[in-house]
């Protein structure tokens, strides 16, 4: 099985990404590192454990990581995710422990302990933990198999400002470090996630599983999609983060391009913009595979089939 670490700020869509990984035998989830993002760190670390307990996986190692971006105050997104970050279903206080130690040290220690090139990092929140690990332990960069991240945008541009996607906007300096790290990186930008819409039929398919995971997922996404339907007038909310895990399971669902991507860190107007050279108009070397298209029906079929395996 493919060994991964999920770095996350749950977040309803983060929760679904975690569930998809836990439901998939092709993936060995070595641990989850929580980061501040959609809601503050205490909440994301708690939400990650609620999701593991929902899946009956109290054994998963969950660590708390960084509680603020590298050089800026935290910006959160309760307007999208609700006060808890997982609004929708009824939540509980998790019983499973938070692991001792810092999430960043877990990332570093794991990459040093496992054979080089065997651990994939899946960041689906602001990139603070990953960047901090790379700064603290530069020797880990060549040991990372691949980074598969949700973040950024090219034609779709922004969801938190007109120019920027939330995960990159919150910690652009961290994103800059990651994109310049030389690690192979595959990115799910808004351009692709805005094609993975939770329509009513897809939402009802989760509820129809008749399991607690199915119900919890439907209740979360019902809350989550209200924001986007009201805002964008689309058929449903975009299910951003699980696309990263789906890419690991079934890359044939996606197409993209290997391009140069640079992150804007200076301008107030375009802070966090991912400037992707989609048309190859510069001679800057490609450093990331930006995904542009998804077989959305195939993606939701995979997701529904996998979630059906959980309690
Ligand atoms: C990203 O921001 C968060 O709100 C979501 O969880 C996702 O990771 C989308 O811009
Ligand atoms: Ca997220």
DSSP 189-235: -HHHHTTSEE-HHHHHHHHTT-SHHHHHHHHHHHHHHHHHHHHH--S
Name the closest-CA residue to atom 10, ligand 1: 166
The answer to whether the beta carbons of residues 30 and 47 sit under 8 Å apart is no
Q: Which of 16, 123, 125, 187 to mutate to test the pocket of ligand 1 (most atoms within 8 A of CB)?
A: 125
Full-prediction pTM beyond 0.95? yes
Q: Which of 6, 7, 37, 69 to mutate to test the pocket of ligand 1 (most atoms within 8 A of CB)?
A: 37
| Of 33, 50, 25, the residue nearest 99 (C-alpha) | 33
Query: From ligand 1's centre to the CA of 197, what distance in Å?
Result: 14
**Tokens 């690991």 -> residue:** 248
Query: From ligand 1's centre to the CA of 115, what distance in Å?
Result: 31
Q: Please tell me whether residue 311 adopts helix, strand or coil conformation.
A: coil
Name the closest-CA residue to atom 6, ligand 1: 11
Nearest atom in ligand 1 to 77's CA: 4
Query: From ligand 2's centre to the CA of 96, what distance in Å?
Result: 22
Query: From ligand 2's centre to the CA of 5, what distance in Å?
Result: 14
| Of 3, 98, 83, 16, the residue nearest 54 (C-alpha) | 16
Nearest atom in ligand 1 to 165's CA: 10
Q: Which residues are designated catalytic?
A: 240
* Neighbouring C-beta atoms of residue 196, cutoff 10 Å: 25
Q: Which of 14, 36, 150 to mutate to test the pocket of ligand 1 (most atoms within 8 A of CB)?
A: 150
The answer to whether the beta carbons of residues 133 and 177 sit under 8 Å apart is no
Q: State the Cα–Cα distance between residues 217 and 286, nearest whole angstrom.
A: 37
Residues in contact with ligand 1 by the CB-under-6-Å rule are 11, 13-14, 38, 77, 80, 124-125, 150, 159, 165-167, 240-241
Rg (CA), the chain: 18
The answer to whether the beta carbons of residues 247 and 24 sit under 8 Å apart is no
> Phi and psi (nearest 5°) for 2?
-80, 125
CA distance between the termini of the chain = 21
| Ligand with an atom nearest the CA of residue 82 | 1
Nearest atom in ligand 1 to 241's CA: 8
Q: State the Cα–Cα distance between residues 105 and 96, nearest whole angstrom.
A: 20
**pLDDT tens digits for the chain (311 residues)?**
999 999 999 999 999 999 999 999 999 999 999 999 999 999 999 999 999 999 999 999 999 999 999 999 999 999 999 999 999 999 999 999 999 999 999 999 999 999 999 999 999 999 999 999 999 999 999 999 999 999 999 988 899 999 999 999 999 999 999 999 999 999 999 999 999 999 999 999 999 999 999 999 999 999 987 777 777 777 888 999 999 999 999 999 999 999 999 999 999 999 999 999 999 999 999 999 999 999 999 999 999 999 999 99
Q: What number is the ipTM of this complex?
A: 0.99
Query: From ligand 2's centre to the CA of 281, what distance in Å?
Result: 31
The answer to whether the beta carbons of residues 263 and 168 sit under 8 Å apart is yes
């Amino acid at each position: 099985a493919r060994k991964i670490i999920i770095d996350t700020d749950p977040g309803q869509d983060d929760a679904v990404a975690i569930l998809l990984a836990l439901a998939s035998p092709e993936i060995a989830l070595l641990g989850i590192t929580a980061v501040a993002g959609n809601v503050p760190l205490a909440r994301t670390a708690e939400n990650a454990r609620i999701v593991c307990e929902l899946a009956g996986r109290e054994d998963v190692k969950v660590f708390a990581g960084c509680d603020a971006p590298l050089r800026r105050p935290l910006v959160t997104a309760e307007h999208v995710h609700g006060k808890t970050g997982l609004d929708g279903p009824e939540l509980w206080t998790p019983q499973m422990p938070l692991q001792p130690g810092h999430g960043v040290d877990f990332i570093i220690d794991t990459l040093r302990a496992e054979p080089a090139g065997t651990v994939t990092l899946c960041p689906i929140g602001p990139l603070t933990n990953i960047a901090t690990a790379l700064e603290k332990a530069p020797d880990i960069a060549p040991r990372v198999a691949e980074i598969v991240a949700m973040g950024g945008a090219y034609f779709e541009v922004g969801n938190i400002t007109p120019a920027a996607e939330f995960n990159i906007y919150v910690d652009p300096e961290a994103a800059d470090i990651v994109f310049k790290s030389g690690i192979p990186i595959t990115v799910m930008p808004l351009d692709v996630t805005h094609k993975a819409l939770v329509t009513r039929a897809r939402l009802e398919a989760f509820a129809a599983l008749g399991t607690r995971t199915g119900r919890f997922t439907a209740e979360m996404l019902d809350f989550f999609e209200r924001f986007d339907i009201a805002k964008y007038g689309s058929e449903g909310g975009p299910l951003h983060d699980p696309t990263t895990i789906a890419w690991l399971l079934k890359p044939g669902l996606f197409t993209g391009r290997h391009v140069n991507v640079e992150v804007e860190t200076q301008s107030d107007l375009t802070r966090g913009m991912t400037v992707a050279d989609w048309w190859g108009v510069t001679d800057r070397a490609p450093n990331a595979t930006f995904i542009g298209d998804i077989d959305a029906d195939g993606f939701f079929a995979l997701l529904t089939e996998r979630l059906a395996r959980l309690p």
